Amino acid sequence: MISQDSKYRIRHDRPNCIGCSACASIAPKFWEMSDLDGKSDVIGSKMGEDGLEEMEISEEDFQCNLDAAEACPVNVIHLIQIGDNKQII
């Protein structure tokens, strides 16, 4: 079920994360570094069998996650607009 204020979805390709920690530095409300393997995790996300983490976010949380995605050197953070399923980054 999509929350009424959810406008976007974070999709994190965790298996290909290199653990640079840029996302956690930029958006610590949403990103943290795992003590187990040093990769980043989306706080409160659901992980699929494919290793992709997903979580819906509101319009007000879009910019900090966009900044995190743009800072990712291996482009494993994607933002998808809910409704038309348009990938923004």
Domains (ranges, CATH) in the chain?
Answer: 6-87 (3.30.70.20)
- Burial (CB < 10 A; 0-12, 13-18, 19+), residue 69, is buried
Query: CA–CA distance from 53 to each of 9, 24, 44, 77 (Å)?
Result: 10, 15, 9, 10
Question: Is the model's pLDDT at 2 over the cut of 50?
Answer: no
> Which of 4-8, 65-69, 72-76, 80-84 is least confident?
4-8
- β-pairing, 52-58 with 77-81? unpaired
pTM of structure: 0.89
pLDDT in tens, 30-65: 999 999 999 999 999 999 999 899 999 999 999 999
Question: Is the model's pLDDT at 3 over the cut of 80?
Answer: no
Q: Rounded CA gap, 87 and 30, in Å?
A: 19
